[in-house]
Amino acid sequence: MDRLMNKIAIITGGASGQGKAASLLFAKEGATVIVADFDAEKGKKAVDEIIAQNGNAEFHHVDVTRESLVESLVKSVVAKYGRLDIMYNNAGLVKMRPIGELPTDDWDFTIRFELQQVYYGCKYALQQMEKKGYGVILNTASTSGLVGIPGHGPHAATKAGVIGLTRSIAVDYGPKGIRCNAVAPGFIPYTQQTGDLSNDEFIRMMLQAQPLKRHGRPEDVAQCALFLCSDEASWITGQVIAVDGGYTAM
């Protein structure tokens, strides 16, 4: 308990999946959580759940692919709370196909929804954190950014980009008291991104490939995110931690 006491945290994509799990956990650990998502219904529901558990949270309706909206999100949080301690750039949406079959519009979409917006989140958070000489940025990458996975072309490209961005920020901003890490989830079913378990063949293949032989849960990723965002990780920056049941160890 209290591992994030009095921290002010923005979690993008906090309305569902991993972002929601992190929002609930961060609030339980004492943070005030700003759930930033373009799904207002689910976002407000997540905030209601946090408040029902005596946590502090508010919902911000934002499409993080729109730069001006990300800028005002960060500025409004700083205007209200005086600072931003944690920026968790978790939102993401992807259109996946092998590259030769991928329409250029889908490539552009994936770059915008998975990489461009992470740059916006980092940029506006860094501007505020620099003023305080303190801050933690966590970006959601993927095992697709670390190893080749069939059919994951655009996702692989954007998430490898997120990893590069993360390391570069760690180097530039470490001397200014700001840490930046990435979490690289493996396959996490039951989220909006992956849908249900109806694609049996893929599910079986993923289970086979994971030494721990169980499906990943949003909460598994949230626990790693909590550690990386807490002061317990105060000497860790520029790292990518895979939360993948051992998939990338094979």
| Max CA pair span of the chain | 50
What is the β-pairing status of strands 86-89 and 8-12?
parallel
Site for ligand NAD in 143-172 (CB under 6 A): none
What are the φ/ψ torsions at residue 192 (nearest 5 degrees)? -60, -35
> Which residue number, 176 or 239, has a Cβ lying nearer to ligand NAD?
239
Among 7, 11, 19, 146, binds ligand NAD (CB under 6 A): 19
Cβ distance 28 to 225 under 8 Å?
no
Work out whether the CA dihedral 200, 90, 67, 171 comes out positive or negative: negative
Q: Is 193 in the site for ligand NAD (CB under 6 A)?
A: yes
Letters for 23-52 (x = contact with ligand NAD by CB under 6 A, - = none) are: --------------xxx--x----------
**Dihedral angle, C-alpha 119, 67, 14, 84, nearest 10 °:** 70
Question: Which range in 58-66, 78-86, 98-106, 231-239 contacts ligand NAD by CB under 6 A?
Answer: 58-66
Contact 158, 110 (CB under 8 A): yes
From residue 63 to residue 102, the character string flagging contacts with ligand NAD as x (rule: CB under 6 A) and all else as - is: xxx------------------------xxxxx--------
Binding positions for ligand NAD, rule: CB under 6 A: 12-13, 15-19, 37-39, 42, 62-65, 90-94, 113, 117, 140, 142, 185, 187-188, 191-194, 218
